Amino acid sequence: MIEALRRIVQEATAATDFPSALTIAATQIRDTLEVTACTIYLVDQKRRELVCGAGIGLTLVARGQVRRTDQPSLLEWIAERQDVLNLADAQQHPRYQNTLGTDEEICHAFLGVPLVQDHQTLGILVVRDTRICEFQTMEVDFLVSIAVPLAHLIHQATLDGVIHALLSGVRSLSGLPGAQGVAIGTITLPYRLADLDRVPNRSTSDPAAEEVALNTAISAVDEELRSANEQLLSLLPPSEQAMFSAHRLLLNSDSLRADINTRIHNGLWAPAAWRDAILARAQALQQTNNPYLNARAEDIRDLGRRVLRHLYTGATDSSRALPEHCVLLAEEISVADFATIPPDQLAAIVCLRGSALSHIAILARAIGIPAVMNLGDRPINGLAGHEIIVDGYQGRVFIDPDPAVRAEYQRLIAAETELAAGLDKLRDLPAEMLDGYRVPLYVKAGLLSDIPSASNCGADGVGLYRTEFAFMIRESFPSEEEQYAIYQQVLKAFAPKPVTIRTLDIGGDKPLPYYPIDENNPFLGWRGLRFTLDHPKIFLVQLRAMLRANADSKNLRVLFPMITTVEELDEALRLLTQAYRELEAEGTPAARPQVGAMIEVPSAAWQAAQLARRVDFLSVGTNDLTQYVLAVDRDNAQVARLYDHLHPALLKTIAHILAGGHQAGRPVQLSGEMASDPGAALLLLGMGADSLNASPASLPRVKWVIRRFARAQACALAEEALTLETTDQIRRLLNGALQQAGLGEIVHESI
C-alpha cells in the first residue's frame, strides 16, 4: 500500500493538467483497492454544491456535473462532519441517494473520506464496490493517507484559479493539434453499438430464418458503408477509402459466410454465430503482436457491432437527430463513426487518444476540419449536447465557454472564412514568389477516386501516387493487367503533367490482409523496397505494368521507397531495366520513365549524394524521416508530443539531403505533412527544396504563402532557423516572419 500511495502521488503530480491529475488518482485508487468505482468530488464553496471532478468505474456523471438535491445525502454528511464514513450497504442508509448515475444501484459497500486543508472541506473521495461488507482497516487507512496529498493538490489548484474555471463551467483542456482550424459546435458522441461480448448463447430450431435475418443485417451494413463511401468519395484520403472497401470485402467474404452458416446449422442463433465468427478473426489479428493488425482487430469488432445492432433492432444512425454543427467526441473515432455524420454538419473531431498522424487526424486534415487529439482519459458520457470550441492550432478545447472566449473564437472563424474565400481564386495562378521564382507544387493521391480533387486544386502534377492501396483492397496480389489499367488511367488523367508513382510500400502501418507480416517492430522491419526486392516476381509485375502504362503519355516518374543502402537502389534499378527489356523483347509498347529514390531513413539521408547520382531525382518523405531521426513512434500517444517536423535535428538532416542532391546535380522534392504546413513549406524553400508535394486540401494555403514572399526572404529565414537550438525557437521565428508579412491569420496565436 505504501508503494501504491507513492506511485499515485507521483503520477498525479506529474500530470499535465488538474483534470488529468484527478483522473489518474481516481483510476489508480480504484485499481489498487480493486473496487468497482472511485469518484472525486469538489466543493464549490460559493454555491455550496458538490461537483464531480473525476470518476472511474461506472456510468458516471460527467466532470463538472453538479450534485444538487433537496435532501442532505451521505456526501453532505461527510463534508459537514469532516469524518470518514464506512458502510457495508450504503443503500440501506436513510441518507442514501444515487449520486453517480443509472447503474450505481449495483454498488453496496461505500467508503467516503473528506479532503480537508486548513480546516476547510475542499472535496470528497469515495470508493464503492458491489460487495456487502465494510472496508477493512488497511483500506480505510490507505484512503485517509491518499486524501492528504489530494487535498493539497486541490488547494493548489484553487490558488491557481483552476478550480474556479472548472466550477464556473469554463473547461479548457489541452491535447495535441490534429488538424488546423477553429470550430464552435455541439458535442456529439458516436452511436453506442451493441456489445459483442454480451451476446447470450441461444439455440435455434429454424436455421433458415436465422440465415435470412443475418443476411438482411449484413446487407444493411454493407449498404451503409457503400452509401457513406459514396457520400464521402471526394473527401476521404486513399487509406480511408481503402478501409471502406476492406470492410465491405470482409462482410461479403465467402469464408465468413460459410463459417457463420456452419455455426447456425450447428444450432446457434444468428447473433451468437456472428459473434463467434467475428471474435475469432479479431483475436487472430491481436495475436500477431503487430500494432497495425491489432488496430485492424478493433475495426473488425466495430464492424461486428454494427451488424449485431441491426440483428437486434434494425436501428440506423440516421434515426437520431443531429445538431447543426456536430463535434464528434470519443476515446477513439473510427471511419465508420465519422461516416455517420453528414459532411455539411461535421464541424470538428476530438479524440481522447491518438496522435497527429492517426487515421482520423489525417482524415480531418484531408477534408479541412479542425481536430484535437490525445486529450487523455476523461469521462465523456454526460457531455453530449454541450457547446465546445475546438482549437486545432493549439490542440485545445473549451467546453461550455464563457462569452468572452466564445466571441474571440467567433472572430477567428470569421477571419478564416474570409481567407478560404480568397484561396479559391489562387487555383489557376502559379506558385510564384515575389521575385518571380516559380515553385512546382504537386499533390498526393492513392486511388482513382482521388483524381478529381487532385486535378482541381491547381497542382502541377502528382508528386506521390501510392500504389499500396490497390493492393490492400483486394484479396490477393493484383495482376499485371489490373495494375496496368490503374496506372494508365492515372497517367492519362494528368498528361502531360508528371505523375510520380511509388512502387509497393507495404509493411509498417500498411500490411496486406492476405499477406500478414508478424514482426515485433514493423517500422524497423520488412517494409518498402526490402519486401519487394525479396519478392522480385511481384516487383517485376508492378514495374512491367508501370512501363506499359507510360507508353502513350510518357509522363511517368517511378519512385523507390524505404531505401537504406546504395546496393538496394542498384538492385531496384537492375530489375527496372530487366522489366523494360522483357517488354521490348516481347514487342509490348513501353517507355522508360524518370526514376527517383525516396529518402526516409537516416542511412539514406547521409548517403544522399551517392543515391542521387544513380537516379533522376530525390524525394524526401518527411513523415517517416521525422519518426526515424527523432526515434518517436508517431502513433504512440505516450511520445506523440515529441514528434515535431520543426525539430532542429530534422532540419539539419534535410539540409544535408538537399546539399547532397544538388551536389549530384539532381532536384530534391519534399513530401509529407511538413510540405503541407505553410510555414514549414516556406522554410523548406529557403533551404533549397526544388518542389513540394502537399495534400489537395493544404496546397492552396501553401501557394498563398509562397506568393507573398521573395526567395531571398525565405533563404534568410532558413539560414537563421538552422542556427536555433529548440523547436519552440524555430516555430516562433516562423510565426514572427509570417505575421510581419501580414499573414497572421494562418498562424493562430494563444488567446
Average pLDDT over residues 411-439: 83
> At residue 161, what are phi and psi to the nearest 5 degrees?
85, 0
At residue 124 the predicted structure's pLDDT band, cuts being 50, 70 and 90, is: very high
pLDDT of residue 555: 96
At residue 441 the predicted structure's pLDDT band, cuts being 50, 70 and 90, is: very high
Flag the least confident range among 90-99, 211-220, 460-469, 595-604. Answer: 90-99
What average pLDDT does the chain have? 83
> At residue 207, what are phi and psi to the nearest 5 degrees?
-55, -35
Higher-pLDDT residue of 656 and 188 is: 656
10 Å CB burial of residue 573 (0-12, 13-18, 19+) is middle
Higher-pLDDT residue of 583 and 368 is: 583
Largest distance between two CA atoms of the chain: 95
pLDDT of residue 223: 84
This prediction has a pTM of: 0.59
* pLDDT one-digit tens code per residue, 678-700: 889 999 999 999 999 988 778 88
pLDDT of residue 311: 81
* pLDDT one-digit tens code per residue, 182-238: 999 999 887 655 677 767 777 888 899 999 988 898 888 888 888 777 766 655 555
Three-state DSSP at 112 gives strand
Flag the least confident range among 316-325, 359-368, 413-422, 424-433. Answer: 316-325
Average pLDDT over residues 94-98: 75
Higher-pLDDT residue of 69 and 87 is: 87
Residue 130 is which amino acid? T
How far apart, in whole angstroms, are the C-alpha atoms of residue 599 and residue 497? 23
What are the strands of the beta sheet with 326-330, ordered from one edge? Answer: 171-174, 396-399, 387-391, 182-188, 326-330, 346-351, 371-373, 176-179
* pLDDT one-digit tens code per residue, 16-46: 678 888 888 999 999 999 998 898 988 876 6
Please, are residues 33 and 142 in contact by the beta-carbon 8 Å criterion? yes
Q: Which residues contact 735 (CB under 8 A, 6 or more apart)?
A: 679, 747, 749
pLDDT surpasses 50 at 467: yes
Q: Which three cell numbers stand for residue 37?
A: 468505482
How far apart, in whole angstroms, are the C-alpha atoms of residue 44 and residue 167? 7
Higher-pLDDT residue of 348 and 51 is: 348
Higher-pLDDT residue of 85 and 297 is: 85
pLDDT of residue 313: 60
**Cis ω before 589 (30° cut-off from 0):** no
Q: Which three cell numbers stand for residue 31?
A: 485499481
Q: Which helix (H) or strand (E) holds 560?
A: strand 556-560
**Helix ranges restricted to H, 70-177:** 74-81, 137-159, 162-167
* pLDDT one-digit tens code per residue, 718-750: 999 999 999 989 988 998 888 787 665 444 433
Please, are residues 357 and 292 in contact by the beta-carbon 8 Å criterion? no
Higher-pLDDT residue of 544 and 299 is: 544
What are the strands of the beta sheet with 49-56, ordered from one edge? Answer: 66-67, 49-56, 37-44, 120-129, 109-117, 85-87
pLDDT of residue 318: 47
pLDDT of residue 695: 81
Please, are residues 290 and 525 in contact by the beta-carbon 8 Å criterion? no
Higher-pLDDT residue of 610 and 375 is: 610
pLDDT surpasses 90 at 618: yes
How far apart, in whole angstroms, are the C-alpha atoms of residue 570 and residue 561? 13
* pLDDT one-digit tens code per residue, 490-523: 999 899 999 999 999 886 656 666 676 666 776 7
Most confident of the ranges 166-175, 240-249, 378-387, 593-602 = 593-602
Average pLDDT over residues 134-148: 93
Cα R_g (the chain), whole angstroms: 29
Average pLDDT over residues 359-366: 76
pLDDT surpasses 90 at 615: yes
Instruction: Show the CA angle centred on residue 432, arms to residues 427 and 437, nearest 5°.
Output: 160
Instruction: Show the CA angle centred on residue 92, arms to residues 87 and 95, nearest 5°.
Output: 85
Q: Which of 330, 428, 420 is nearest to 368 (CA)?
A: 420
Average pLDDT over residues 655-684: 94
Most confident of the ranges 41-50, 273-282, 285-294 = 273-282
> At residue 355, what are phi and psi to the nearest 5 degrees?
-130, 180
Higher-pLDDT residue of 412 and 65 is: 412
At residue 61 the predicted structure's pLDDT band, cuts being 50, 70 and 90, is: very low
Domains present along the chain, CATH in parentheses = 2-169 (3.30.450.40), 173-190+320-421 (3.50.30.10), 196-318 (1.10.274.10), 431-746 (3.20.20.60)
